[in-house]
Chain A
Amino acid sequence: MRDVAAPIVEIQNVTKAYGKLKAVDDVSLAIPRNAFFALLGPSGCGKTTLLRMLGGFEHTSTGRILIDGEDMAGIQPNRRPVNMVFQSYAVFPHMTVADNIAYGLKVTGVKRAAIASRVEEAIAMVRLDGMAARKPDQLSGGQRQRVALARALVKRPKLLLLDEPLSALDKKLREEMQLELVRLQTEVGITFIIVTHDQEEALGMASEIAVMKEGRILQIAPPRELYEHPTRRFVAEFIGASNSFPCEVLAIDGQNARVRSPLLGELTVERSAPDVTSGTLIIRPEKVRMDFSTPEPTPGEALIRGTIDQIAYFGDLSIVYLTAEDGSRLQCSRYNVSRIAAPDPRPGTACTLGIHPEDLLLVGD
């Protein structure tokens, strides 16, 4: 009996070096059972290498990978309790949908009768009913992806790995597949590990996200915590947009710090982590209050005067880009909550920005 509370994946001090370059650098990570886990980072951060090591397509240079408590060292991809959805989907072009899905069962010697019913079940699960006899070139990109998903899930793996599964789809389909993947994950109860460079994708789907940069993991947190409590400036700037202000830490008091910023003056703000003793103040653009009338600060609010440079209108929201009085560039997003609201101000308009210290966070550089 395995401990249900034990993590399904344990990555212990794993490094992958190509010559001098470390694609993955001393990464340790535990992924809980039944999680929808995202590895997020810019291209070249080592997230795909990490995923391929879980699948068995790359060896670890040092460190150990345990899946469900078993050391995976030296175990070939075809012997791992893991299946992968490839970025290119890798659907076998010469096989029908049903043959593609049956493939993994056939080669491992599952009985013919069992194959038929499991394939049928998998087809229904990914909603490809009526497509069983089609060849991949008669399917759309989204349908091909469903085949790749069904083909992996029909094997009932302990872990499903997804390598940038949505990057080849257009926006509408991508949103649809996001919901679909979350539905599938809850339905089958298998741990999903997804690699993506798209922060919205990660925030929208994952139960937990690991942000990677240059082979290292910077932060692991659920989406909300990652957005509202980024520990590092890189994370804050990679997940969503943020305004940052240089500052000097005057004193540290438990969770908080007394800081002085040239633009904001002296404030007490929250520290993002216990080890953050210096760094940068950040605030999300939607948490900045914009005012065009004569400003009256609400209690405790810091005010910044600025001029509008540019406005990007997206329909649901507008992003206003400004230059503050000291020349630093800021942004502020405004939801267009009413059809009859006043239109966005014109570039060149002077305005005042109100910032509440509780929306600011001191993050490490």
Chain B
Amino acid sequence: MLGRSPVGPLEYTRRLWLRLWLLAVFVFLYAPIVILVVFSFNDSRRNIVWQGFTTDYYVRAAENASLIEAFGNSLIIAFVSTILSTIIGALLALGLWRFRFPGRAALDGAAALPIVIPEICMGVALLVFFNRVGFPTGMPWPLNLAPIVIGHVAFSFPFVAVVVRARMIGFDRSLEEASKDLGASEWQTFWNVTVPYMKPGLIAGGLLAMTLSLDDFVITFFTSGPGTLTFPVQVYSMVRFGATPEVNAASTVLIVVTVLLTVIAVRWQRPDKEVAKLG
């Protein structure tokens, strides 16, 4: 199989030892996920030994009212925090890209802080913050999700800003000048020229924010009030009562959703390529 032509000096991927190494890496990375997905179809309550194939646990997960409620909460939180962090992140990116002002470097650094701060610290900080300002608790649904949304926006808008800014680096400023030259106002120029160029960055950044929000556990755990559960938090509490295939099934659904969103985000981010319309 390898004998068609001699292995070239840079063709490392055709060398046996490297192929074995690659295999080991992939097994290490993906075996746990594969096992999780496989065992979501396991016909066994204890879920330790393979007993046979079933999709029962997907049905059971779908019938689990608190799991569905948590999933709904997660979707609402993700939706609202994605829109907010996309707007805030895009404005931040535009401001940093376009203007020079005193404190620009400081703002640039400070804005990236939520990316590097350990999530647990963010979580504790938000918890303390909400207590300190006396943020109302025990509000009716869906207002009780507000602290979680605020927490999610706080840590995901810098990601949007980073993506949008990377997109704007390739922007030819004379496009804006040309628009004004042709008679457009600042506002028309922004909507007709700047925003269409930003669009792939906005979509990629938005999807990134959505993924981050959907599967966030730590910050949500600290900011959610009593009785407000999100999907990851609910899965966590189910695991505490034993890892049934139902948990596997719920996790598999989340994995699929997250992977899909990430794939789309990466595709939209690809620079200088007209992205195919999403069907």
Contact = CB atoms under 8 A, between A and B. Distances in A.
Interface of A: 55-57, 76-78, 82-84, 86-88, 90, 92-94, 103-104, 107-108, 135, 137, 148, 151-152, 155
B274 A107 contact: no
B172 A88 contact: yes
30 contacts: A55-B177, A55-B181, A57-B177, A77-B181, A83-B181, A83-B182, A84-B177, A84-B178, A84-B181, A86-B174, A86-B177, A90-B172, A90-B174, A90-B177, A90-B178, A92-B175, A92-B178, A92-B192, A92-B196, A94-B196, A103-B192, A107-B182, A107-B185, A107-B192, A108-B183, A137-B274, A151-B178, A151-B182, A152-B181, A155-B182
A278 B226 CA distance: 95
A135 B272 CA distance: 13
A52 to B, nearest CB: 9
Nearest to B195: A94
Contact of B182 (A76, A94, A104): A104
Nearest 8 interchain pairs by C-beta: A104-B182, A90-B178, A107-B184, A90-B174, A108-B183, A86-B174, A94-B196, A77-B180
Given A90-B172, A90-B175, A94-B197, A76 B192 contact: no
Interface of B: 172, 174-175, 177-185, 188, 192-193, 196-197, 274
Chain B binding surface, main DSSP class: helix
Given A93-B197, A94-B196, A107-B188, A78 B174 contact: no
Given A78-B182, A155-B182, A155-B183, 5 more contacts: A56-B181, A92-B192, A94-B197, A103-B179, A151-B178
A78 B174 CA distance: 14
A361 B177 CA distance: 45
A248 B111 CA distance: 69
Given A94-B196, A107-B192, A137-B274, A78 B175 contact: no
Nearest to B193: A92
Contacts of B196: 92, 94
Contacts of A83: 181-182
A94 B275 CA distance: 11
A30 B197 CA distance: 39
A11 B91 CA distance: 39
B180 A76 contact: yes
Contacts of B182: 78, 83, 103-104, 107, 151-152, 155
Contact of A78 (B185, B192, B193, B274): B185
Contacts of A87: 174
Contacts of A135: 274
Nearest to B175: A90
A152 B184 CA distance: 13
Given A94-B196, A94-B197, A135-B274, A86 B184 contact: no
A108 B185 CA distance: 9
A107 B178 contact: no
Contacts of B197: 93-94
Contacts of A107: 179, 182-185, 188, 192
A78 B178 CA distance: 9
